[in-house]
Amino acid sequence: MAVEAGRDCLRGLSRTSWQALNLASTSAPFADLNHAALVAAALRLNLNVAAMDFASSTRVGLSALIEACRAREGEQLVIAADKRGAKPGSVQEMQYGCGAAALACGSGEAVFARLLGAESLTVPFFDHFRASGQSADYHWEERWVRDEGLAKLVPQAVSALLERLALTPDRITWFGLSGGPARSDAAIAKALKIAPQSLLPDLQAGVGDTGTAHSLLQLLAALERAQPGDIIVIAAFAQGCEVAAFEMIKPLPASARRGLAGSLADRVEESAYLRLLANEGQLELDWGMRAEVDQKTALTQLYRASDQILGLVGGRCSSCGAVQFPRLPNCVNCAASDTQQPYALDEVPARIATHTADWLQYSPAPPLLMGLVQFDGGARLLMEIVDVGADGLEVGTPLSMRFRIKERDRQRGWNRYFWKASPMSAV
């Protein structure tokens, strides 16, 4: 999700001029690994980018954005992503969601909104926690969280920021609050004397509580609505509160980015509860002998071919112009030696040349859909096809590339990432 959000944010922007990548998550898969480095490789960012992980609290998504906006040098990319786990039958199963958001920070004429200021309030108010090795959070009573936490701490932090910035509540055009129970934002806005029409969507119904990503998703919702001069205040409640105020400088132009609204509109719904539990790892299913394969990854090969595996970078022959994947010493078209120049395929238009549905081969979401993908420019690649909606697949169906888990090495706890194809109508 972090890679997909980053790709959408980077459309039309350079991939080689970033000073830092801040990645925020409370559900990153590894305990000892720089996840921002993995995301940077998939996004093909410059190698001298500073890659930093922010973790351990749902407020760190907003914290990472504030730190990036305060940076004095270069362009900063901020991504927050969370895959929140909940026990079957719990309240959190109905409330939690999975999501990611990405924002670019910098200076100059490309800036659409500026940070006016931020305020932090840090107290040992622990309304929920998740121990190391656990898959679900443990929550305290909602009434206590609402009355002793949100009602007292959030207004304190927001009021302190408004006082420092010499802003009155009536100047706030858009207000968003994450980290609290549903509809708590309305109560906080009322206590702060913020107009009800200033409330941003809490995204609880269509998305759910997405943890570190939620405050950034609400900011994106505001940016898609705001006009020049609008004041946006975003608050993230967790062990206190993080608050940031932004001023809209100019409206967002029409672009090829999906953004929040486009991502919510283009989705594939899953209505089978048992399949949902299986996808979340809540059911221990018998996948049969075909799933009993050692998926050990050769980290040496992953490093040698990291741009091809993680960045989907093929080769373009400097002699005849043919594009191929993977890069080889000789061109598959003219047989010229050592003429392969790096050529990224993740944003190149592609279509299905042939496809098949395999009900025998192991897949966590059977059937396994495979197809020969024809890229514009000549490259062909046999790929797994995912996120197929009700329209199904046909020869010629337009495809886009998606960065996904290809296999899980459950013996060693490693996820092998690669790219899969997805129908354009499903994204």
CA distance 388 to 217: 25
Question: Is 274 domain-assigned?
Answer: no
- Cis ω for the linkage preceding 29 (within 30 of 0): no
The dihedral over CA atoms of 404, 406, 408, 413, expressed in degrees to the nearest 10, equals -60
What tokens does 109 get? Answer: 């004429």
> Does residue 234 share a domain with residue 337?
no
Question: Is 270 domain-assigned?
Answer: no
Question: Is 341 domain-assigned?
Answer: yes
Count of domains observed in the chain: 2
Which of residues 228 and 392 earns the better pLDDT score?
228
142-188 pLDDT tens trace? 999 999 999 999 999 999 999 999 999 999 999 999 999 888 999 99
Radius of gyration of the chain (CA): 23
> Does residue 45 share a domain with residue 146?
yes
> Does residue 325 share a domain with residue 177?
no
Question: Is 277 domain-assigned?
Answer: no
CATH number at residue 13: 3.40.47.10
345-350-351 Cα angle (round to 5): 155
pLDDT of residue 282: 86
Q: Which residues contact 389 (CB under 8 A, 6 or more apart)?
A: 268, 423, 425, 426
51-64 pLDDT tens trace? 999 999 999 999 99
Q: How many residues are listed for the chain in this entry? A: 427
> Does residue 22 share a domain with residue 161?
yes
3-state secondary structure of 234: strand
CA distance 99 to 212: 9
> Does residue 380 share a domain with residue 235?
no
What pTM does this model have?
0.95
> Does residue 344 share a domain with residue 408?
yes
CA distance 335 to 331: 4
Is residue 314 within 8 Å of 334, Cβ to Cβ?
no
Question: Is 31 domain-assigned?
Answer: yes
> Does residue 341 share a domain with residue 254?
no
349-366 pLDDT tens trace? 999 999 999 999 888 888
CA distance 183 to 189: 10
> Does residue 192 share a domain with residue 329?
no
Question: Is 280 domain-assigned?
Answer: no
Q: Which residues contact 214 (CB under 8 A, 6 or more apart)?
A: 58, 61, 99, 178, 179, 203, 236
> Does residue 389 share a domain with residue 300?
yes
